[in-house]
Amino acid sequence: MPSAKSRRPAGPRPDDRGSVIGGDASCLFLLTLAAGVTRLWRIDLPATPVYDETHVGRFLNWRAASAVPKRSPSNPPSQIRLLARLPPRYHQRAYFFDVHPPLAKLAMYRVALALGFRGAASCPYESTEPFAAECDLAPQRLLPALCGTAMVPVAFITARAAGLSRASSLLAAYLVLSDNLFLALSRLHLNDIILALLVSLTHLAALSATRAPPRDAAAPLPLAPLMAAGLALGGALQCKYGAPLTTLGWLGLQNLLLLCRLAAQGRSVAALLRQAAARGAILLGLPLAMHVAMLRLHLSLLPNSGDGDGYMSEGFQATLAGNPLAASLPPGERPSFLALALEHAATQFRYNRNMAILFPRGSHAFDSRWYSWPLAARGVHFSLVRDWAAVAAAPDDQHLLGLFIHPNPAIALAAAAAAAAAAARLAALALGCARERLRGAEGAERAARLAGALSGAAEPGGTASLLCAMLLHWLPYATQDRQTFLLYYAPAYYFAILIAAAGWDALVVRARSVPRRVGWALTAAAAAFFGSFTARLWRLAVGAPATPHEWHAMLRLASTECWAEQWLGETCWASQT
C-alpha cells in the first residue's frame, strides 16, 4: 500500500466538489434501479421452495390468517380489534418453539399477507422435494428482495461516508450488486439477507456515531446516528442471535476507541462518563427493549397449547390454554412475563448449544468449514430436477436443474486477498512503530507517523475497523462443531468487499501517479472483469434453465474446489450433481 505522501487526500477532489450531492444522487438512483431489476425480476421463479425456504415457510404457514373471532365474553371488542391489527396470527394460535427470534419471519409474513398470501393454500411447504406442490412464492420473497436491493445503495453510501472516492464507492456497490451470493439470498425468503442489511445499516450509522470530534471542538452526543445504530442492531438481533452479537462486539470496540480518543484530547472525567453512560444506554437499551417487545408480541400470539410445549417447563406449559397442566396451576400462581422471557431465552440458548448433537458436521453434502468460505470453495446447491429420466433423454435441451447459493469466485478471491493484504499492512505498521520506538529519539518522528497511520486505520470506516468487523463476523464459526454453510459468510463478505474497495481507492484511484481519467478507466475495467464472471454464472443464482453441460460448466467455474479437477484428475462434486 502506498505511503501517505503518494496518495491524494481523502474526501472529494477539487473537480468533484461542485457536484458531490448531485453526482452521488444519480449514482444512487442508477444503483438502486439496477439492484431492483436483478432482485425483483421474476421472483416467483423457481416456483418451488428452495433450500431452507421449506423450513421458513412452515413458520409462515403457522402464521396463516384465520377469521377474526366473533364478539363474546372471552373475546371483547378491544381484543378483537387488537387481533385484527396484529401482523400475523398463528395457525389456531398454537405455541411453537423457534431457535431464532421472530422479527424476520413476522415481517416476511406481514408483507406476504398484504399481497395475498393464504398460508398453505399458497404453498403447503410439506415436502423438501422440488415441485411437490403448486406454490405462489412471490409475496413471501418480496421483503428479502427489497432488502437485497437496499444493500447496494447502502454499500455506496457507506463507502462515501468512509471517505472513499466516487469511483471506488461505485465499485464497492457494483460488487455487491453483481455478486451471486447476495443475488441468490435476495431472491429467497430466508432470514439471511434481512440480517445482512440490518448489520450493514448498523455499520453505516456507527460511522457517524463513533467518529471523534476535533480536539478543540465540543463533543456533543450524536443522538440520531446512535439511535439509528441501536435500532438497526436491535433489528438484526431479532432476526438471528449469532452474527449480530459479533456486530455488537465490533460496535463496543469502536465506542471504546472513541472514549480513548476523547480521553487523549483531555476531556474531563465527567464528560467521558456521560458519553459512556449515554452510549451504553442507547446501544444496549434499544436492542433490549426491542427484544422484550418482540417476545411479548410473539407470546401473545401463541396462547394455546401446540407442538412446542415439550421444549418448555411445566410452569410455562401451564400458561398455554388447552395444555393438561393449565388446570393444575391457578392463574395467580403462573409465571410472570419476565419469568417466561427468561425461560424462553434459556431454552433458545440450550438448543443452540446442542446444535452439534442435533446437526453433526458431515451429514449434509454442502456442509463446509469456515476457512473455505473466503475461497468460494463450495456453496449450497439445491436440485430442481423433477424428472431425471427426462433430462437424460434430452441432454441438449435446457432444463431447470438447480439453484446454487454461492459467491462470484473472482469477487470472493479478490476480497479475501484485499483483506489479507490489509492485515499484513497493519501488522507491518505496528511492527515498524514498535521498532522505531525502540530506537529512542532517533526513531521518534517516524514512530509518530506510523502510529498516526495506525490510528487513522482504526477510525470508523478505516481498514483496521473494517478488518475487525470482517474477522468478528467470520472467525467465531471456527468454534462451531455443527453443520455450517457458506451463506453464513455473507455479513463478513460484505465487509471484505468494503476492504477491497478501500484498497483500490488507495492504490489506484487516489494514487498521485495515476491520472483521474486513468483511475476511472481502470475502475471500469475491474468492474468489467468481475462482471464477466457474473455474466457467465448468473443463472446459478436465480435457478434459470440450462443444458446439463452448461450447468456443470458453470458449477465448476463458480466452485474453486473444482478448479484443480483437470490437473489432479479427481472428480469434482459438481460433476456428480
Query: Does residue 319 register a pLDDT over 50?
Result: yes
Instruction: Determine which of 107-111, 500-504, 535-539, 568-572 has the lowest per-residue pLDDT on average.
Output: 568-572
* For residues 64-91, average pLDDT: 40
**Reported confidence tier of residue 362, pLDDT bands at 50, 70, 90:** confident
- Whether residue 93 is predicted with pLDDT greater than 80 in this model: the reply is no
- What confidence score (pLDDT) does residue 62 get? 62
Rounded to whole angstroms, the Cα distance separating 186 from 152 reads 11
pLDDT of residue 569: 66
Strand 380-383 with 402-405, pairing: antiparallel
List pLDDT tens digits, range 155-204: 999 999 999 999 999 999 999 999 999 999 999 999 999 999 999 999 99
Q: Is 511 helix (H, G, I), strand (E, B) or coil?
A: strand
Residue 10 is predicted with a pLDDT of: 44
The CA distances from residue 524 to 150, 165, 177, 507, 559, in Å, are: 23, 14, 15, 15, 25
* pLDDT higher than threshold 70 for residue 20: no
Tell me what percent of the residues of the chain surpass a pLDDT of 90. 73
The residues, any chain, with a CB within 8 Å of residue 322's CB and separated by 6 or more, are 304, 305
pLDDT at residue 79 tops 80: no
Q: Residue 92: its pLDDT value, please?
A: 53
pLDDT at 162: 96
Confidence label for 15 from pLDDT (cuts 50, 70 and 90):
very low
Mean pLDDT across 39-68: 81
**pLDDT tens readout for residues 419-467:** 999 999 999 999 999 999 999 988 899 999 999 999 999 999 999 999 9
Reading the block at residue 151, the C-alpha cell is 444493500
Residues 206, 469: contact at Cβ < 8 Å? Answer: no
**pTM of the model as a whole:** 0.91
Res. 85: pLDDT tops 50: no
Residue 80 scores a pLDDT above 50: no
Give the pLDDT of residue 537: 98
* Range 553-571 average pLDDT: 84
Residue range 332-346: mean pLDDT, rounded: 93
Q: What pLDDT, in 10s, does the model give residues 212-247?
A: 888 877 888 999 999 999 999 999 999 999 888 999
Q: How many CA atoms lie within 13 A of 284 on its CB side?
A: 9
The predicted pLDDT at position 214 comes to 85
Please classify residue 479 by burial: count the beta carbons closer than 10 Å to its beta carbon, then call 0-12 exposed, 13-18 middle and 19+ buried: exposed
Per the model's pLDDT, the better-predicted residue between 281 and 121 turns out to be: 281
> What is the C-alpha separation between 570 and 298, in angstroms, rounded?
51
Measured between alpha carbons, how far is 502 from 41 in angstroms, rounded to an integer?
A: 31
Question: Over pLDDT 70: what percentage of the chain?
Answer: 90
The pLDDT assigned to 566 comes to 62
8 Å CB contact between 293 and 299: no
Q: Which of 10-24, 41-55, 89-103 has the lowest mean pLDDT?
A: 10-24
* Reported confidence tier of residue 73, pLDDT bands at 50, 70, 90: very low
Structure confidence by residue, pLDDT tens digits, 477-521: 999 989 999 999 999 999 999 999 999 999 999 999 999 999 999
Q: Give the model's pLDDT for residue 64.
A: 43
What rounded mean pLDDT belongs to the chain?
89
Asked if residue 13 has pLDDT above 60, the reply is: no
For residue 21, the model assigns a pLDDT of: 60
Quickly tell me which residue has 427426462 as its cell. 390
- On the 0-12 / 13-18 / 19+ scale of CB atoms within 10 A, 440 is exposed
**Cα separation of 444 and 89, whole Å?**
67
Q: Which H, E and C letters describe 83-125, residue by residue?
A: HHHCCCCCHHHECCCCCCCCHHHHHHHHHHHHCCCCHHHCCCC
Q: Does the pLDDT at position 308 exceed 90?
A: no
Q: What is the pLDDT of residue 70?
A: 40
Confidence of residue 17 (pLDDT cuts 50, 70, 90): very low
Other CB atoms within 10 A of residue 290 CB: 19
User: For residue 77, what pLDDT is reported?
Assistant: 46
> What's the rounded mean pLDDT across residues 540-559?
96
* Per-residue CA distances from 234 to 14, 124, 201, 202, 286 (Å): 40, 31, 11, 9, 7
Query: For residue 260, is pLDDT > 60?
Result: yes
- Ranges of each domain in the chain: 4-71+78-304+359-379+409-529, 314-353
Residue 140 pLDDT > 70:
yes
Cβ(176)–Cβ(159) below 8 Å:
no
